[in-house]
Amino acid sequence: MVSIQDQIVLITGASSGIGSACAQSFAQAGTQLILAARRLDRLEELAAELKQQFNTQSYLLALDVCDRSHVKTSLDALPAAWKQIDILINNAGLSRGLDKLQEGNIQDWEEMIDTNIKGLLYVTREIVPGMVSRGNGQVINMGSIAGHQTYPGGNVYCATKAAVRALSEGLKMDLLGTPVRVCSVDPGMVETAFSQVRFHGDAARAAQVYQGVTPLSPEDIADIVLFCATRPPHVNISDVVVFPTDQASATLVHVEVRVGVIFPFHQEPQSSSVNQKILGFESLGRASHTLMTQLSILQDAEPN
């Protein structure tokens, strides 16, 4: 492990979930943090906690990554002491809905595209030139298994994460010959506010996603991000795909079913004597009648 003490780390979507967990991990590693998100009050709480626990110096940015001019103005206005960013963690991202493409909400599409693709591009475009000129830096993009495997109802969201994967690969090519490294971390199911954002605040519906499953935690992902950031300069971990043990792919999850427990989406399995089965759903709200099928729910990145 290479020390990253006193390095400056910019984390987007830092106010909760994976972003907040990354802030904790990197604070413990002795870095200085630029915490960016739309919710300044959450950032203030997080910064105070990190200051108390680790004496971490933090700079807070109330940042909407979707707003290109705001991104440029905010990053240009960083104080001189905070401008030399060593590590960029492009974590801001979200998903909206599980509608079929032909029935999709265009506003949801635009929000996903603006945040997951354009927001990542805007921030990266502002930060990477400085890394190149200084001859040092690392970009860690929060991707998703959805960028590797499309699942039913995931259409536009999966497309945005496939774009993140392509952008990560393309940026590595563009930076070849420089010391700047690029990594993509692509999780499967992670228990964050992701599902609640996807379902427009429907907490009850979001809670059903994790019923009978042990998902990854934000801290699990933060550990991986920190590991990638602390490799020697000649080592670039290009892509990390990580699942919970209960998940085998974007569409296959092991669900523990116990007799007497309300089954997700209000449909009981056909055999009440079953203790454990591999179960799934063809689409949200319609339970499958088979015991081995596809699961069209996937949690990974964190709302901005």
Catalytic residues: 157
Token couple for 93: 């991202």
| Ramachandran region, residue 177 (left: φ > 0; alpha: ψ -120 to 50; beta: rest) | left
Sign of CA dihedral 27, 176, 90, 10: positive
Name the nearest CA neighbour of 161 among 83, 227, 239: 239
Q: What is the three-class DSSP state of 172?
A: helix
The one-character DSSP state at 86 is S
Q: What is the three-class DSSP state of 149?
A: coil
Neighbours of 177 (CB within 10 A): 7
| Ramachandran region, residue 13 (left: φ > 0; alpha: ψ -120 to 50; beta: rest) | left
Distance set, CA 203 to CA 198, 226, 262, 299 (Å): 10, 30, 16, 14
